[in-house]
Structure formats: C-alpha cells, structure tokens
Structure 1
Amino acid sequence: MATNGSAAVISAQPASYDPEFRTIDLGCDLAHTGRMQLDYAKNFTVDEFEGGVRLVCEANGERFLVVPAGASAPDGLDPDIAVIQQPLDSVYLVSTGMICLIDEIGALDAVTVSSVSAEDSPNADLTAALEDGCTDFGGKYSAPDFELIAERGCTLAIENTKINHAPEVKQKLQDLGVTVLTELSSSEPEVLGRLEWMKLMGVLFGREDEANARFDEIAQRVWAVADQAPTGKTVAFFYINDDGAAVTRRSTDYFAQMIQLAGGDPISFDPDAEAEGSSSIQAVIDLETFYAQAKDADVIIYNTTVDTSVKSIADLTAKNPLFADFRAVQDGEVYACDENMYQAMTDMDAILEDLRCALTGSGESAGFIWKLD
C-alpha cells in the first residue's frame, strides 16, 4: 500500500468495521460461516452461510440472499430478504456505473436487457451485444419495457438510486417476479470504495475470484498514480445550471478525492444538505459566492458530463462575464471531461493520469480530461 504523496488521502477501513445496517439474522437456522472483508466500500456488506449462501446488506436497509445454483432458499427466511437465485443468466441492467464492473469480471453475457441503447452505450462490449441482438434495449429506468423484461425471463434488475424517484416502476418489476437491487456506489466516500462494488457483482454473478483479482490489479494501478508529490495547484470542478448557479461537488465526494489523488487541491463548498438543489454529493452555489472563492483557482475543469454545451473557453465566458476574470481562464487552464467519466470506474488510474496532466501541463490525455481552447 502506498504511503507517500497524494495517495495518503485514501483511507482503508479497519477489519472491525461493522455498520449498523448489517443485520445477519436470517430468521432461520442457517449457520453463519464468515464475512467478506471489504477494505473501502461502506455501503454494502456480504456474509457467508453454510451451503455457499451469501447475505448482502445495503446501506438503504435492503437485504438479499444469494443462493447457489442447485440449492433453494431456506424455509423461514425473513420476509424482508429478497432472494437472488443463481445462476444469473438473464439480468436487466439499468445502472450504467455497473457496466464496466460486470464486464471486467466477464459476466456481461448475463445481461439480456439494458437501459442504454447501442448508440448511448459507454462500453464497447455492451455496444456489440446490443448490436448483435444478444442484449435488448429495454427502456430507461423510469419507463422500462415490462413486456420485454418478462419475455427475456429477467430475474434480477440492477438499478441505481434514480429508481427511488420511480417507486411504481420498482413495484411493477417486483410484481413480475424480478428482484430489484439498487447499487449505492455513487454514495461511497472513497474512490476505491466505488471500485470495490466489483466484489458485490462478483458475488451476484458467481465470479468472486475474478472480481478480487481484478480489483487488486486496478487498485495497485491507482496507488501507483496517486503516490506522487502534490502539485500545489487548486482546482475548481463545476458546471452552471439553468438558473445560472454553479453546481460543484462536496469536499467529501469521491471526485474531490480524485483531484487530491492526482496531486491537486479541490475548491469545495459544503452548504447545509437542506440547501436548495444541494445534496450529500453536490453543492449548488450562487455565482457571486462561487466567484469569490474560485476566481483564483489554478485550474478549471468544467463538468461536461452534465452540461455538454461548453466546448471552448468562449462558451464558458458566454455563461457569465464573471468567468473572464478567473485566473484559470486568463491563463488558458480550462478543461472539460468525458461524458462517460463517472461510468469508467475500471479506468480510474487513467482518469487520475489525465487529472495530473491537467495540473502539471505535461503528458498525453487518455481522453477523460482535455484542454479547451
């Protein structure tokens, strides 16, 4: 494990970490045999029971029992526990963040219905599957093609937290016999905590060895990039919303941590969670306040994963004349980012390299962060 440079901002959790949401009472007599050791992820746990059964607990209070092929769920199981029966050979994948993780462990062939089309897919293998007809486009999270999902025999839907805004969709899927698992990786405070959701995908798809090996390989690459001296450069990462306010990330967000790992110092705003438009992840700041704190930033990274309208420095200053006074604008240190950056967890080391290139003005971009003219 790296201990020098920017990598010091990554904190591994102690082996004794035991979150309150972890509840291992199944309501039946199945013997508990062990627990998966997680180093960074804080929003799920996995416990092992006799017969190879796994219990997944999530920070949202939901629990899932993963039952091996050829076995059955035990009698007397608590009714709050949803069953995921292996093997998984027909999955409705809604969470775009999980695409690269599932692909990394070689389980993408189990995805038969996707919420992204071939044209919008952020992953080459999923694009090919959609074009070949191995996977069907099944509509967005809020309006899925229930008939198609039923026809393809999907037994599991992997959603992200957007499904919380469409409870009727979740209920309809469950009425069709589809178990709905909401992944919470976006709420992970640690960069490697997001990546460690690969281990949960390994449990679900019966590819734990592959998930452990690939996680270790990618984490080592992240450590190698991050274990470099800080640059001393300050970074403003944001976009401008329709109301003309700046939307940035909180200091506890994983992207703020990525800037630190690349050797930068993120300019963060942490208003009350109740502030209009803000959340536990993002902060919405009026432009005058943002200007006062960010005008002297060494580097600007405009969040074009959300607002793709900014393709040049002129596009940014057209948003508001105040931007012309920003030091980074005057120095030409303005960057944009790839719209699929948040979904590229397995390329985390390359994203860090691109961030560091922006901070140091050297190196070649891998295409996740690039300079605007």
Structure 2
Amino acid sequence: MKRRIAALFLLSLLVGCERMEALPVERYPASPVGDGLERNLDTACIADYREDVDYFPERSRFDWSTQLSVEYGRHFKRVSFRPSVDTGETLEILLVQCGTPVPAHDAATVVVEVPIRRLATGNSAMLGAADELGIVERLVGIENIRSPTVEAVRRRIAEGGIQELWGYAHANIEPIMAVRPDVYLSFYSAYPQFNLHPQLQRVGIRALPQADHLEGHPLGRAEWLKLLAMLVNREAEANRRFAVIETEYLYWRDLAAQAQRRPQIMAGFPSGRDSFEVFGALNQRARLLADAGGGYVLAGLREHGSLLQLGFEEVYLAGAEAPVWIGAQSGYSSLAQMLDSTPRASWFAATRAGQVYAFDRGYTGAWASPAHDNGMTRPHLALAEVVQVLHPELVHSSVPPTFLRRLP
C-alpha cells in the first residue's frame, strides 16, 4: 500500500508538470591537477579548477550517428540529441567535469556531472558496451535482472549490486528513483507517448534517451558506445574500440560489394494473426542487409523505425519469393516449431527452402540473447555472418557464429 501511495504521489507531480530538484550525485574524490592532464579523469573530480586548463585531453566525435553531436569546452561537453524519427523533440545534454563550474545553459538542458558513479539503464543494448568500457561496477539498475547474457553483469547481479527496475509506463519511476542513479538511460520510442525520460526528468532523475536502435547505419548505432564513454570520461577507450569495429565492418561491406548477385531478403516476423513486425528501410537493420550484399524486400518503406507493424498481405506480397529470411522471431528451437506457431509462414519461399535465420544464438528466453546485449557494439560480427550466408563464395575462411542461427 505504501508503494502504491508513493507512486500516486509521483504521478500527481507529473500531471502538474512540476519539476523537482535533481537528485544528489555521489562525487568522486577531488584531486589537484595543476597545469593540465595527459588523460581524462575517470575516477576523480577537480580540486584546483582553472579556466585556462583543458580537462578533456581525450575527446570523441560522432562521424556516423545522425542523431548525436558533441561540442567540447575545456571543462564541459555539450551533446545534442536529435532523433531520426519525427517526435518533435531535441535535447541538449551538458556534461560537466565535477569540481568545475556549470556553464550557462537553457532551462530544459539536462546537466550531468562527469564522471558518473551510478548508472541505470532501461535498455539491455548498453550492457555489452558497459562491459567493454570496464564500468559494470557502476551499474546499479537494469530493467530485468534475469535476462542479461553478459557475464560481468550476471556476476554483479549475483553479488547484489544491481537492482531490477522492471515496470510498465509510470510504474517504474519509483524503483528508478530508489537506486539513485546519476544517469538513467531510457529506451527511446518513435511514439512520444511511450517515452519515459520527460517524466523522469520532472522528478529529478537525469534521464537521457537511448535511441541507438533508430540510427540509419549500424556504425552510427555503434557510436552510442562513445556517448556512454563520455559519461565516464573514457573517450580514449571508446575511440580505440570503435576504430576496430569500423575497420572490420568496412572490410566486410567492401567484400560483399564484390558479389555478382544481390538476393532479396525477407525479414521480420508475424506479431499477430494478421500483422507482421518489421523495420523501416531507413533503419540500421536494413542498412546492414544492404551492406551484406542483399536487398530488403520492404525497401519502399522509407521510415527509420525499428518496430513497425504491417499487414500480413503487404509483407507476403513483398517477400513471398525471397530466397532467404534473416531476422525471424527469436526463441524457436526449429523451423517446425515456428510453423506450428505461425502456419502461414510456410507460404514463403525461404521457409520452404529451409533458409530461415534468427539473431538469437545463445538465447535464454524472454528476448534475452547476446544479440540484444552486445549487438549495438558488434555490427561487424553480424555483418560478417550475414555475408557468409548470402555470399559463401566470397568467404575464404568461415566466421564463427556469434548472433545468427539457422533454424534447423
């Protein structure tokens, strides 16, 4: 009953559009740095601020993302988020080195002292990125503690360091507040009424939208690793890792470009009796298929969305004769089980040929798989696997599968 009353109280604040003061953060100890730094401080604040000193000698930039941009000052980073989908929103994020003054900013700007100590997320795509940056110990809350496949995250859950934030609509505001995150990364929906970050900001949570899935290019999605790094002043590590991702991705893209044929690819899966869940042709998932040397059957669907609903007939007309189906629904143990659940899937040529693949290798149930937790920062691996399926004649040595699985 007490939890319900507290939730109702929070909702009353939201209805009234009142903005509470931001929750206090846990600062790192302050250290004197004198005339300057050779590397960013990822576990310390500034004890002797001077306006002529550059406190961010290690910096990142966004070359592939169409939604993120950043401008560095000597002691702050001004990040702009402009979603690729038409939600009518832009957001300015001011990341300020702790121990230094906050620059002038608009009232709507989200101000965050960096490096942060406590991170919470409502999107598992950031779990693999947190592990790669070595900051899993800063995770204090995730949406579901039963689904992670990242081993470092699983260990921290077992130790009691991560709390579950699962909930629906406004119901998860209270547990998010309870873990006192310095930053909460909120899954960004193409449908504004489902976005939680504005409500969280009103109750004092520094909530930042996470819209990696709406990028138009897989490398643009992977660059969200850099945003996470900016929160902890680990730009150098993010730059190093992204350089490997970019090099490998472009290698496989250029290899696929040598193919003499570009097979059509069926994608998506039935989401109801008469509907299909698909993605827009401007989405990063469609670009990955194109870079693998294939053609997305819904190339005329000129949208950025990653979760779109179409009628079965429209999808069937577009993809009935495609020789391969990549991105079927996760969790089916076999093609026969998929057909038992959705008999009309047997009408597609790819199904009859047994060429149906899902990005669910290592699936543990409830949409939990390495592709969900690590796919954001490993598009080069996904691309290599799709190239191997579409153009095996170009691949001289087989690529060990990480995400993609052919339904037996």
Are the aligned partners of 1:41 and 1:193 in contact in 2 as well (CA < 8 Å)? Answer: yes
Distance (whole Å) between structure 2 residues aligned to residue 166 and residue 285 of structure 1: 20
Find the residue that maps to 2:128 and give its secondary structure.
helix
- The answer for the alignment partner of 1:264 in structure 2 is 294
Structure 1 residue 89, shift from structure 2 partner: 0.6
Please state if 1:87 is matched with 2:115: yes
Give RMSD over aligned pairs: 3.0
Relative to the length of structure 2, the TM-score reads 0.72
Question: Cα–Cα, structure 1 residues 283 and 184, in superposed 2: closer, same or farther, change >3 Å?
Answer: closer
Are the aligned partners of 1:115 and 1:141 in contact in 2 as well (CA < 8 Å)? Answer: no
- The answer for the alignment partner of 2:134 in structure 1 is 106
Structure 1 residue 194, shift from structure 2 partner: 0.3
Are the aligned partners of 1:90 and 1:111 in contact in 2 as well (CA < 8 Å)? Answer: yes
Distance (whole Å) between structure 1 residues aligned to residue 302 and residue 225 of structure 2: 32
Are the aligned partners of 1:94 and 1:141 in contact in 2 as well (CA < 8 Å)? Answer: no
- The answer for the alignment partner of 2:272 in structure 1 is 242
Find the residue that maps to 2:240 and give its secondary structure.
helix
Please state if 1:177 is matched with 2:204: yes
- The answer for the alignment partner of 1:370 in structure 2 is 405
Distance (whole Å) between structure 2 residues aligned to residue 227 and residue 174 of structure 1: 43
Letter in 2 for 1:253: N
- The answer for the alignment partner of 1:8 in structure 2 is none
Please state if 1:64 is matched with 2:93: yes
Distance (whole Å) between structure 1 residues aligned to residue 127 and residue 348 of structure 2: 37
Relative to the length of structure 1, the TM-score reads 0.78
- Residues 163-221 of structure 1 show CA distances to partners (whole Å, capped at 9, x for unaligned) of 95456x64664355321111221211011000011111111111111111111111112
- The answer for the alignment partner of 2:382 in structure 1 is 351
Question: Cα–Cα, structure 1 residues 146 and 244, in superposed 2: closer, same or farther, change >3 Å?
Answer: closer
Letter in 2 for 1:64: I
Question: Cα–Cα, structure 1 residues 354 and 144, in superposed 2: closer, same or farther, change >3 Å?
Answer: farther
- Residues 241-298 of structure 1 show CA distances to partners (whole Å, capped at 9, x for unaligned) of 113322222221111111122222221154587xxxxx73444333233223212111
Distance (whole Å) between structure 1 residues aligned to residue 122 and residue 224 of structure 2: 15
- The answer for the alignment partner of 2:77 in structure 1 is 54
Distance (whole Å) between structure 1 residues aligned to residue 275 and residue 285 of structure 2: 20
Are the aligned partners of 1:249 and 1:269 in contact in 2 as well (CA < 8 Å)? Answer: no
Farther off after superposition, 336-345 or 138-147: 138-147
- Which residue, 301, 314, 322 being the options, matches 1:297? 322
Question: Cα–Cα, structure 1 residues 131 and 164, in superposed 2: closer, same or farther, change >3 Å?
Answer: farther
Distance (whole Å) between structure 2 residues aligned to residue 272 and residue 200 of structure 1: 27
Distance (whole Å) between structure 2 residues aligned to residue 78 and residue 54 of structure 1: 15
Structure 1 residue 302, shift from structure 2 partner: 4.5
Question: Cα–Cα, structure 1 residues 146 and 280, in superposed 2: closer, same or farther, change >3 Å?
Answer: closer
Are the aligned partners of 2:60 and 2:226 in contact in 1 as well (CA < 8 Å)? Answer: no
Structure 1 residue 113, shift from structure 2 partner: 1.8
Map 1:1-373; keep pairs closer than 5 Å: 37-50=61-74, 52-59=75-82, 60-74=89-103, 76-117=104-145, 119-140=146-167, 142=169, 149-150=176-177, 152-162=179-189, 164-165=192-193, 170=197, 173-174=200-201, 176-228=203-255, 229-230=258-259, 231-268=261-298, 270-271=300-301, 280-305=305-330, 308=331, 310-318=332-340, 321-338=343-360, 339=367, 340=369, 341-343=371-373, 344-360=375-391, 363=398, 366-373=401-408
Question: Cα–Cα, structure 1 residues 171 and 58, in superposed 2: closer, same or farther, change >3 Å?
Answer: closer
Runs (5+) with no aligned partner, structure 1: 1-29, 274-278
Farther off after superposition, 226-235 or 212-221: 226-235
Distance (whole Å) between structure 2 residues aligned to residue 271 and residue 296 of structure 1: 18
Distance (whole Å) between structure 1 residues aligned to residue 377 and residue 117 of structure 2: 23
Q: How many equivalent pairs are there?
A: 331
Runs (5+) with no aligned partner, structure 2: 1-50, 83-88, 361-366
Farther off after superposition, 340-349 or 55-64: 340-349
- Residues 43-76 of structure 1 show CA distances to partners (whole Å, capped at 9, x for unaligned) of 11111123x21111111311111110211313x5
Letter in 2 for 1:53: F
